[in-house]
Amino acid sequence: MSKVWFITGTSSGFGRQFVQQLLQAGDKVVATARKLESIQDFKELAPDRVHLSALDVTNKAQIQSAVQEAVDVFGKIDIVVNNAGYGLFGMMEEYTDEQIRKQFDVNVFGVLDVIRATLPVFKRQGSGHYVNFSSFFGTWSMPPYSIYAASKFAVEGFSEAFAQEFASFGIKTTIVEPSVYATEFFGESMQHTEKKQEYAPLYEAYEKGMSNIKTGDPAKAVELIISVIKSDNSPLRLAVGSQAAYTIREAYTKRLEEVNTWFERSTEAD
C-alpha cells in the first residue's frame, strides 16, 4: 500500500532523491521547496501522485498552508521527512550574530515548526513517522562546524525526547545521521564566515583531513533510509554511510572511556 510522504527541501540533494525514488516506487509525495520552479520537473514523473508546495521552513504560515494542502490533496500524511537545512562553515569567533541565529532558525526551529504543524494530523490518524535529518556532526564536533554541529545536537536532543512523548499515539521517530555525500552541502548551500588569519593552521588541518574523505552517493543513502523507514523495525538513530558508522562508534567509545576514567571522582560529587 502506497504511503504519503511530506518532504522539506526537495530541490536538491537528499530531498530530490527522496522524491524521485518514492515516486518510482509508487508512493505519494508532497514535495516542498522555497522556489517552486526548482521542483516543477517532479510533475512529469507522476502528476497524480505528487503535490508541490512552496515552503520556507522559517515561514510558519507557509508550513501550515503546505500541511493543509497535503491533507486536502491526499487525505493523510504517513511520513514527514525533515530534510531542509544547510551548513555553516567557520570558527566560533568568526560567526556573526545573524549567521548563528539563521542557522538555528532553519536547522532547529524550522524542524520544530514542521513537527508542531503535522503532529495534530498524526494524532488524529493514530499513526505517523518523523524522519529528522541530523548528521554524524550531531554526535561529535570539530572545527569549522561548531554552530552547524550545535544545531544538529539540538535536533538529536529534542527528537530523542519526543520519540518517547509521541510513541503512545502510534507515532515513530527516526534520527538520520549521514556522513559526507555528494550534495549541495559543500556547494551553494554552504555559508561561510570571513576567515581570520590566526586560524589558518586549523583551516589547513581541516583541508588536509577532508582530502582523505570518501564522498558518498546520495542515491544509495536515500535508498537505505527508505528501506529502513518502510521496515517494521526502524531504529531511533540511523547512521548512514561507512564513515558515519565508524566515526559515531569511535566518538561514543571515546566518550565512554572518558566517563569510566573519571567515574570514581564523578560519583564523589553526590
Residue spans per domain, the chain: 4-243
Catalytic status, residue 152: yes
Q: To 5 degrees, how large is the angle CA 43–CA 46–CA 51?
A: 55
Q: CA torsion, points 207, 213, 218, 220, in degrees to nearest 10? A: 180
Q: Which of 3, 28, 152, 172 is catalytic?
A: 152
Q: Would residue 134 show up in a list of annotated catalytic residues for this protein?
A: yes
Q: What is the pLDDT of residues 27-85, one digit of tens each?
A: 999 999 999 999 999 999 999 999 999 999 999 999 999 999 999 999 999 999 999 99
Alpha-helix residue ranges (DSSP H) falling in the chain = 13-24, 42-45, 60-74, 97-104, 110-125, 146-167, 200-210, 218-230, 242-261, 263-267
Q: Which of 148, 159, 172, 181 is catalytic?
A: 148
Per-residue pLDDT of 128-183, as tens digits, reads 999 999 999 999 999 999 999 999 999 999 999 999 999 999 999 999 999 988 66
- Please report the pLDDT score of residue 39 as a whole number: 97
Is 212's pLDDT higher than 80?
Answer: no
Please name the residues in contact with 237: beta carbons below 8 A apart, sequence gap of 6 or more. Answer: 156, 174, 175, 177
pLDDT band at 188 (very low <50, low <70, confident <90, very high): low
The answer on pLDDT for 198 being more than 70 is yes
Among candidate residues 11, 134, 135, 159, the one labeled active-site is 134
**pTM of the prediction?**
0.95
Q: Which CATH number fits domain 4-243: 1.10.10.10, 3.40.50.720, 3.40.190.10, 3.20.20.70?
A: 3.40.50.720
148 assigned to active site: yes
